A and B are shown apart, each in its own frame.
Chain A
Amino acid sequence: MKGHMEKRVIFKGKWLPLLLILPQLAVTAVFFFYPAGEAIWQSLFIPDPFGLSMQYVGLGNFEYLLNDPYYRASFVTTAVFSVLVTLVSMGVALFLAVLADRLIKGSGTYRTLLIWPYAVAPAVAGVLWMFMFNTRVGVITWYLGQLGYDWNHVLNGTEAMGLVVIASAWGRISYNFLFFLAGLQSIPRSVIEAAAIDGAGFWTRFRTIVFPLLSPTTFFLMVVNIVYAFFETFGVIHTITAGGPQQSTTILVYKVYADGFVGQDLGSSAAQSVVLLVVVGLLTVAQFKFIERKVHY
């Protein structure tokens, strides 16, 4: 697919384009640069909750954070959590999309049903899964008990992590499914048919043709899902585990909340926001620099 002609539409003049992107710039400045700047400024202080006084501490908040073993552990927790959520939600979505792509009858109904979970807010999804796995009244806990497995995510960190991953990935499957299905349907049938005539089985076709041609979609979804796992899973974690047991599900964003709004430690909370900002920035740059190279457009 390489080597095709680049198409470019060029507007003349400088002011019209500037004027046209001005609303976007204003929104970015007000809702992104201003709060981010404020966070950087606040991270240099230890303020009291009511804003009555502030102590300048320089990089003291960052020093405090980096010396905190639980904060360092939170990076690992976040990495494990994000990778698992991305893998589970994309893996299941791809599987379902491949099945839906082969469907001829009833595919509309199937697709509509699969999209529904996306409309469920993370906090609500969290509560739903929490009830199913409730250690006392949960339906799934009861069935696991019948099978002789004693499910207790209240005390078992691994089970807690598993549960928040499932609950976070669940709603996301719909979203990924839509993109994968669209991606699959844009692959020319002729290419696949040609391969089939050459004797390539389903798996060979999938591995050598479908998956590579799907890579722009996969790459896009990977970026979007990691950002989702980093920032938007707060509701799930808050409702299911509140970061426990023993901080085994405390991801970075949850810690920002816990320190800022439960602990009223706004200095530490601001410093964590700055760290998070840097981490996500680096992650995005890394993704575009290294992984995008392997993507076929």
Chain B
Amino acid sequence: MTLRISTLALAAATAAASAQTANAATEIEFWHAFTGRLGELVDQQVADFNASQDEYEVTATHKGNYSETLNAGIAAFRAGEQPDILMVFEVGTATMMAAKGAIKPVYEVMADAGADFDPDSYISAVKGYYTDTDGNMLSLPFNSSTPVLWVNTTALEEAGIAADVDLTTWEQVGEVLDQLAEAGHSCPLTTAWQSWIHLENLSAYHDVPFATEDNGFAGFGTELEMNGPVQVKHIETMGQWAEDGKFVYAGRRNEGGANFRAGECALFTESSAGYAGIASEAEFDFDVRPLPYWSDVEAAPQNTIIGGASLWVMAGQPDEEYAGVASFLNYLSSPEVQAQWHQDTGYLPITEAAAELTREQGFYEENPGTDIAVEQMTANEPTANSKGVRLGSYDQIRTIIDEELEAVWTGDKTAQDALDSAKTRGDQLLRRFEQSSR
């Protein structure tokens, strides 16, 4: 009998001990889409957070590219195995917002955990993209960038153009392209992410709508409106440049980056996050300029919008994990962590404090041009047209836009026809998305 009791006591003690070990650190799962240098930097952030406290243990897992990571999160949710934090690229924002039962908004996570969280400390153009119409932050901005104009000044000088030539407006860019073409340059201008830069950002920058319902921010009943006169004129001009060999199309993603970094192209519209790659590979002098605008559009330049990803908190986890999530997200947005991230990657600092800290550290003086993106985004308070674009099935709508733009570059379609067709086709997908999120 005594033996039996002591065995039981021992078993109980062991169980208690093991329960305590489990309690020692709550596991937080974080799925992201970064590889290479960016993946290392994320791992470092996670390791630093884990070392800074012993209540929570964050495990970061790479789940493929942006689309694959989103799909992994969706599949995991359907199987009841979702992570605590999921990285979702900006075009997946509407999909996540519509999935009310699958996510827990960041503002709620913070409020429940009693965390010290001030949404106003975030740069408004970044914050605006991820907040609902009531101003509540739904996901935490993580890596954000905005398009700028990269200039190969060596190529300009070889064509007899001053390195500091004014490229503020597309009219001025057009003149420089003429000069480059006359000098026999084979690739005066190329671009990455054509829909993002030459339609979405173009619209925001000129304060014209990309879609109804405040570009989709106000509801799911949205329709595309990017076939307006400003967009048509821009695409028409680009089409003419393509025909004249002044604009060289390299591909739908950032294929043009290879051409620019190899010194083949003189001008290149690409994300500000292209900085790291260009700085390390370019064997010529380069310069960063703000994205050009059309001077005959009165509202321009408004502000550009962001690309990149944010962190979504998934629903259906125990409360203690949410407390850990709040603590981790707070750590990520602290000025020191953010400033370091901004300087390492070329992504925008997401808080005012991080931008300020970077300035104090003298980073912008040592790396001229790296602050242009920040200035361009924060120059004006965002309007309904320049807060961002939030559409369902957006990844696929971008593909449709890519297809139609390709038809313009080859001369198969006029700009008006192509953009009208993109609108019609995209609207069909929007209607289906609306139906699915009822």
Proximity string of chain A (226-259) to chain B, C-beta cutoff 8 Å, 1 when within and 0 when not = 0000000000000000111111000000000011
Q: What B residues does A243 contact at CB under 8 A?
A: 399
Q: What A residues does B278 contact at CB under 8 A?
A: none
Task: Indicate which residue in A51, A136, A242, A264 contacts B259 across the interface (CB closer than 8 Å).
Answer: A136
CB of B362 within 8 Å of the partner chain = no
Known: A48-B98, A244-B402, A264-B74. 16 other contacts (CB 8 A): A49-B74, A49-B436, A50-B99, A55-B438, A64-B428, A135-B250, A136-B255, A154-B250, A155-B410, A242-B252, A245-B410, A246-B403, A246-B407, A247-B403, A263-B429, A265-B433
B396 touches A259 (CB 8 A): yes
A245 touches B436 (CB 8 A): no
Q: How far is the CB of B68 from chain A (nearest CB, A)?
A: 9
Task: Indicate which residue in A136, A247, A261 contacts B67 across the interface (CB closer than 8 Å).
Answer: A261
Proximity string of chain A (35-50) to chain B, C-beta cutoff 8 Å, 1 when within and 0 when not = 0000000000011111
Contacts A50-B74, A136-B258, A263-B395 given: A55-B250 contact, CB under 8 Å? no
* Residue among B95, B410, B436, B438 with max Cβ neighbours from chain A (10 Å): B436
Interface set, chain B 380-438, CB cutoff 8 A to A: 393, 395-396, 399, 402-404, 406-407, 409-410, 412, 425, 428-429, 432-433, 435-438
Q: How far is the CB of A181 from chain B (nearest CB, A)?
A: 40
Q: How far is the CB of B415 from chain A (nearest CB, A)?
A: 15
Q: Which of chain B's residues has its CB closest to A243's CB?
A: B399
Q: How far is the CB of B352 from chain A (nearest CB, A)?
A: 34
* Residue among B262, B428, B437 with max Cβ neighbours from chain A (10 Å): B437
Q: What B residues does A47 contact at CB under 8 A?
A: 436
Contacts A155-B406, A242-B252, A246-B406 given: A49-B429 contact, CB under 8 Å? no
Question: How many cross-chain pairs have Cβ atoms below 8 Å apart between A and B?
Answer: 90
Q: Which of chain A's residues has its CB closest to B79's CB?
A: A51
Q: What A residues does B402 contact at CB under 8 A?
A: 244
Binding site for A on B (CB under 8 A): 67, 71, 74, 77-78, 95, 98-102, 249-252, 255, 258-259, 262, 264, 393, 395-396, 399, 402-404, 406-407, 409-410, 412, 425, 428-429, 432-433, 435-438
Q: Give the CA-CA distance A151 to B350 in the complex, in Å.
A: 43
Q: Give the CA-CA distance A154 to B242 in the complex, in Å.
A: 14
Task: Indicate which residue in B99, B251, B393 contacts A265 across the interface (CB closer than 8 Å).
Answer: B393
Q: Give the CA-CA distance A154 to B248 in the complex, in Å.
A: 11
Task: Indicate which residue in A48, A245, A262, A268 contacts B99 across the interface (CB closer than 8 Å).
Answer: A48
Contacts A154-B249, A245-B406, A268-B432 given: A53-B438 contact, CB under 8 Å? yes
A49 touches B99 (CB 8 A): yes
Task: Indicate which residue in A52, A245, A265 contacts B429 across the interface (CB closer than 8 Å).
Answer: A265
Q: How far is the CB of B114 from chain A (nearest CB, A)?
A: 29
* Residue among B102, B262, B264 with max Cβ neighbours from chain A (10 Å): B102
Q: Which of chain B's residues has its CB closest to A61's CB?
A: B432
